Amino acid sequence: MASAPTRFVLIIDDNALNRDMLVDYVESLGYEGAAAAQGKEGMEIVARRAPDAILLDLDMPVMDGYAVLDALQAHAEWRHIPVVMISGKDDLQTMTDVLARGAVDYMPKPFKPSILKARLHASFERKDLRDRERALLRDLEKSYSDLRAAEAGRDALTHMIVHDLGNPLAVIKMNADMLQMGAAMGSPIPSDMLAERVAHIASASTSMDLMIRSMLDIAKMESGQLEPQMERQDPTPLLHTLASRFRPVAGDAGMQIEVDAPEGDHPVAFDAVLLERVLANLMANAFKYAHGADRLVLRYRPDDRRIEVEDNGPGIPEAVRERIFEKFYQAEAASGAPRVGIGLGLAFCRMAMEVMGGSIRAEQAEPEGSRFALTLSATTP
Ligand code: ADP
């Protein structure tokens, strides 16, 4: 255990004999002593290093004990340094005056060393108590301001969520309205137009669904309430299902989806619902952020227990490749581009991979693009 820091006691007394005697005595008690022959010099020492206690003479030329007390009281950081006043005067009025002006104790000269020791001790205890009180107050103030910041963050988040759910909702409504209008006019809707409208509705509802589920699951995982349903199975069928489901959306984004997985059964352990949502988030991201990409590969490499989602878009700058997994972080928004999404998708993916005993990282694809590599657990817990 680290030893307690040495107490630092400042003696301010214009009488050299008294001063030296007090310094010697304070040091014989194991404390660190410093001496000043005048009030002003004493205050300079205080400004350099606040003492744990001050032994202060009352009658001094230029700046007397009263003036030192006033100067200490006027400063928020020094107001609480315990001052023991030492004086040749022992009348009640002087005692009352110095205590009223901020001294914690008063000792008429000559004094017994044992009494000085007891008084110093009491002063330190009082100072420790005061310091603890102030530290508690500071903690309390910090908790309060953290709480205010969290509240403000939550308000901003609610704002973003309401705004972001509004976009796909508007797409759904617009397409549904058009279908309804067509039906009301009695004219048959051409099947390719019908398919297109329905595809837009499906993709907008998928993105709303992902957003809502990610938020709910993040809250569950953060409070340790999400128990993954782990099973050993081959993930290849899931990759094919996702590829077919997302093909229309990929087509809208000008991208082809490929599945690259070996034949045969190569089981690994995962929660099928969670992994499906992780992959859906990564695929939806590629359609949103891999501008100019025309290819999305879902790859399974059983030897490394790795699943990869790779696009040939612009890729993710190395400097933010870890930060994108933080909640609410958006690389695009950080670079000043307009915001799409709320930055929860990848935070969800990382948490979900971790509850399944796996991991996720972003890599640079060759020759260009992003690759999200998921490593899965070999066994169920
Ligand atoms: P959101 O939920 O807002 O889409 P995410 O957490 O899913 O946010 O993604 C965080 C950031 O990572 C995005 O703002 C985007 O800049 C970047 N990103 C994610 N996937 C890709 C990708 N395939 N290509 C380029 N950037 C990407």
Higher pLDDT, 196 or 40: 40
CA 378/CA 381 separation, integer angstroms: 10
60 CA to centre of ligand 1 in angstroms: 72
CA 158/CA 275 separation, integer angstroms: 27
Q: Whose CA is nearest to atom 14 of ligand 1?
A: 330
Higher pLDDT, 191 or 47: 47
Higher pLDDT, 109 or 340: 109
257 CA to centre of ligand 1 in angstroms: 18
Paired tokens of 61: 């030329």
Q: pLDDT tier at 1 (50, 70, 90 boundaries)?
A: very low
Q: Give the pLDDT score at 337.
A: 54
Q: pLDDT tier at 2 (50, 70, 90 boundaries)?
A: very low
Check pLDDT > 60 for residue 47: yes
272 CA to centre of ligand 1 in angstroms: 23
Q: Is the CB of 311 under 6 A from ligand 1?
A: yes
Q: Whose CA is nearest to atom 7 of ligand 1?
A: 345
Cis peptide before 235, with omega less than 30 degrees from 0? no
174 CA to centre of ligand 1 in angstroms: 26
CA 39/CA 348 separation, integer angstroms: 64
Q: Whose CA is nearest to atom 17 of ligand 1?
A: 331
Q: Is the CB of 282 under 6 A from ligand 1?
A: no
Strand partners, 35: 11
Q: Is the CB of 331 under 6 A from ligand 1?
A: yes
Q: Is the CB of 211 under 6 A from ligand 1?
A: no
- pLDDT tens digits for 70-85? 999 999 889 999 999 9
- pLDDT tens digits for 209-227? 888 887 788 878 877 888 8
Number of CB atoms found within 10 A of residue 167's CB? 14
Q: Give the pLDDT score at 4.
A: 61
Ligand 1 atom closest to residue 369's alpha carbon, by position in its atom list: 24
Q: Poorest-confidence range of 157-161, 254-258, 299-303, 357-361?
A: 157-161
Which positions ≥6 away from 342 have C-beta within 8 Å?
157, 160, 161, 164, 211, 328, 330
